[in-house]
Amino acid sequence: GAVVSQHPSRVICKSGTSVKIECRSLDFQATTMFWYRQFPKKSLMLMATSNEGSKATYEQGVEKDKFLINHASLTLSTLTVTSAHPEDSSFYICSARQAGRVTGELFFGEGSRLTVL
Amino acid sequence: AQTVTQSQPEMSVQEAETVTLSCTYDTSESDYYLFWYKQPPSRQMILVIRQEAYKQQNATENRFSVNFQKAAKSFSLKISDSQLGDAAMYFCAYRSQPGSAGTASKLTFGTGTRLQVTL
């Protein structure tokens, strides 16, 4: 099956610093990638949709200047949390849609746990 | 906008028994996809089963099957012969058909059901 890899799996940073999370599709091309945020024992909340070669589409209430998304190639999307604060601590999950696949499912990365001190 | 509701925050089943997880959704669309994803303690989301709305036949994948009631907008997951490894959070998800105006291909998730499997 299609594999999506996220890195890092865990990151701890100081308040005010920026953190970059990578999402890679390892064995397929992903024209679209999605970034989700998950709070403890909660569901996944879509943050933004990332399309290769174009600007990301952010969900209502998500600050695009704080959560920078770049999808520079068909296999890589990055999420940068800028000037992180403790309230940004969360579990971030990416998923990818395989180009040309008609069955509709998304493939998920392992997630990245961000802790801001 | 579509919504997905999972009314059971937690469920418990004995090993080897059968359990059914409920999911209802709201949509005005006639064609769409429904999914059940599993999130084990490792936190990676794993696809369990998929159903296309235009198909009347319920999807099955080994011990997992669904009861898809389109008119009732219900999509329950049945796990037969439950195993310890089935313990996880289970999320029901909805996705519009690609190309629907303004919807992209994003998934809308329910709030999840935590399944415990006991000996």
Looking at residue A32, its pLDDT comes to 87
Q: Chain A interface, mutation test: which of B106, B108, B109, B116, most A Cβ atoms within 10 Å?
A: B106
Contacts (Cβ under 8 Å, ≥6 apart) of A49: A32, A33, A34, A56, A57, B104, B106
Mean pLDDT of the residues in chain A: 90
* A104: pLDDT strictly greater than 90: no
Contacts (Cβ under 8 Å, ≥6 apart) of A108: A4, A93, A94, A95, B37, B44, B45, B46
* B84: pLDDT strictly greater than 50: yes
Looking at residue B102, its pLDDT comes to 43
Interface list for B 21-80 with A (CB within 8 A)? 33, 35, 37, 42-47, 50, 52
* A11: pLDDT strictly greater than 90: yes
Q: Which two tokens stand for residue A34?
A: 């999605």
Residue A91 and residue B43: Cβ atoms within 8 Å? Answer: yes
> CB contact, 8 Å: A27 with chain B?
no
* B66: pLDDT strictly greater than 70: yes
Across B60-82, average pLDDT:
97
Looking at residue B89, its pLDDT comes to 95
Of all residues in chain B, the percent with pLDDT exceeding 90 is 77
Q: Which two tokens stand for residue B13?
A: 């089943």
Of all residues in chain A, the percent with pLDDT exceeding 70 is 96
Helix (H) or strand (E) holding A13: strand A10-13
Give the lowest-confidence range in A58-62, B31-35, B105-109.
B105-109
Looking at residue B103, its pLDDT comes to 45
Diameter of chain B measured on Cα atoms: 48
Looking at residue A102, its pLDDT comes to 66
Residue A109 and residue B107: Cβ atoms within 8 Å? Answer: no
Mean pLDDT of the residues in chain B: 91
The amino acid present at A103, given as its one-letter code, is T
* A22: pLDDT strictly greater than 70: yes
Cα nearest neighbour of B49 on chain A: A105
> Could you tell me if residue B62 is left (phi over 0), alpha (psi between -120 and 50 degrees) or otherwise beta?
left
Of A19, A22, A29, A20, the closest CA to residue A85 belongs to A19
Q: Taking CA A73 as the corner, what is the angle to CA A56 and CA A112, rounded to the nearest 5 degrees?
A: 65
Q: Which two tokens stand for residue A88?
A: 């940004």
Nearest residue, CB atoms, B50 vs list A43, A46, A104: A104
Interatomic CA distance for residues A87 and A66, integer angstroms: 12
Q: Are B2 and B107 in contact (CB under 8 A)?
A: no
Cα nearest neighbour of A104 on chain B: B33
Interatomic CA distance for residues A82 and A84, integer angstroms: 5
3-class secondary-structure state, position A27: coil
Looking at residue B104, its pLDDT comes to 55
Looking at residue B21, its pLDDT comes to 98
Of all residues in chain A, the percent with pLDDT exceeding 90 is 68
3-class secondary-structure state, position B118: strand
* A10: pLDDT strictly greater than 50: yes
Looking at residue B12, its pLDDT comes to 97
Across A5-28, average pLDDT:
95
Looking at residue B98, its pLDDT comes to 66
Across A69-97, average pLDDT:
93
* B101: pLDDT strictly greater than 60: no
Of B59, B96, B53, the closest CA to residue B77 belongs to B59
CA distance B4 to chain A (A): 11
